[in-house]
Structure 1
Amino acid sequence: MAEPRTDRLLLRRWRDPDLEPWAAMNADPEVRQHLGDVLTREQSDASVARFRAAFDRRGYGWWAVEVRATGEFIGFAGLDDVDDGMPFTGVEIGWRLARSAWGQGYATEAALAVLAHGFDTLALPEILAVTTATNLRSQAVMRRIGMTRDPADDFDDPTAPEGPLRPNVLYRISRGTGTGKRES
């Protein structure tokens, strides 16, 4: 399967050397601010094992994101089936980057490549995105890639504890309504 590329990024399958920087990201409270508790190294490694297995099973999932010019691992981006128990179904786009990669347009660039893959390669009719109501950075990326939010779709995440992680927003984009330049 082709690995999406942009001018600056490669979205690729996970490699063992990614485990250490991924664990460092998952141990960073700022990176995890809208996701819940930081992860142990074992929990972080187990997440990559799940990502690899899901990708093998379905043919899509979470790619590692690498800066093409340097080979540096900076996070992940991809598609995943919406978790059971949510008040909607479908395929969800997501991304998570190391703090050192924030503010450089990488999330938007990776997300556009993921959208292109989802619509052009997988022929998905719609892609969703979910985040906490307080995660304004991710919501800005969602808007930049052409997604829209209907406040009537907002929901309380049934898997989150009471508190700031429970109120969530839902963004959507349908095939053929994307924005920006997409490369693959």
Structure 2
Amino acid sequence: MHVFLATERLVLRPFTDTYADADRLFALDNDPEVMRFLNGGKPVSREAIQARSLPRLLRDYPCWGTRGYWAAEEKATGAFLGWFEFRPSDEHSAAVVELGYRLRQAAWGKGYATEGSCALVGKGFTDLGVERITANTMAVNARSRRVMEKAGLTFLRSFTGDWPEAVEGSEHGEVEYGLTRADWEQRR
């Protein structure tokens, strides 16, 4: 197994096109609480996982020659925890990347999202040529906002996204957080 990044408790590895990874994603995306701030907690079909989700997670980005989404596993047990996004905004430039995460409920409240995010921020600025990191969530998603803050990102703006179907809380809009390499270096 190729490891993209390892922390004290996590291993981030590329997704595969196996049934095992498709099953893991299906379970993750069919937890109403996990999907609450994404689609209002509606179930996601296995066909949607195969046709839309998995291809997006398997995509390589030419500027890095590697992926932008990583399966997260608990280092001690190998248990699937969810995934992290660290994806260039422009596939030909690593200057600006988007940070994101989606973890199983069993992994919530244990610091995994913060640990993985901090490690990706460090790797981005030290090894991958990243100049700026952004992250977005619904304004009412306090847990995700806290992870962004703990990872060193600061609030940049509120905005109204274009939701195909409104979900509870979307009326409050979305927020963007960010961190530049210069600010990250200054804080170290």
TM-score by length of structure 2 reads: 0.82
Kindly provide the CA deviation profile for residues 104-143 of structure 1, in whole angstroms up to 9, marking residues without a partner as x: 1000011112112221222111100000011100000011
Percent identity for Structure 1 against Structure 2: 35
Shift of 1:162: 4.1
CA apart distance, 1:176: 4.3
Structure 2 alignment gaps of length 5 or more: none
CA RMSD, 1 decimal? 2.5
- How many positions carry a matched residue from both structures? 173
Correspondent of 2:143 among 132, 137, 152:
137
Q: Tell me the SS of whatever aligns to 2:170.
A: coil
Aligned to 1:86: none
Mapped partners of 1:169, 1:54: distance in 2: 27
Match status 1:73 vs 2:74 = no
Which sections of structure 1, spanning at least 5 residues, go unmatched? 84-88
The aligned residue for residue 69 of structure 2 is 62
Deviations 1:22-61 (A, max 9, x none): 1111011100001013311121233122211245785230
- With 24-33 and 162-171 compared, the bigger mean Cα shift is at 162-171
- 1:14–1:63 contact (8 Å) kept in structure 2: yes
Residues 82 and 165 of structure 1, relative CA distance in 2, 3 Å threshold: farther
Q: Determine helix, strand or coil for the equivalent of 1:127.
A: strand
Task: Kindly provide the amino acid, as one letter, of the partner of residue 144 in structure 2.
Answer: S
CA distance in 1, matches of 2:96, 2:58: 20
Counterparts of 1:22 and 1:56, CA distance in 2:
25
Bigger RCO of structures 1 and 2 (CA < 8 A, at least 6 apart): 1
TM-score of the aligned structures, taking structure 1 as reference length: 0.83
SS at match of 2:78: coil
Shift of 1:178: 3.6
User: Does the aligned pair in 1 maintain the 2:13–2:70 contact within 8 Å?
Assistant: yes
Q: Which residue of 1 aligns with 2:9?
A: 8
Higher strand share: 2
- Correspondence for 1:156 among 151, 160, 164: 160
Runs ≥4 residues deviating over 2 A: 53-60, 80-83, 158-166, 176-179
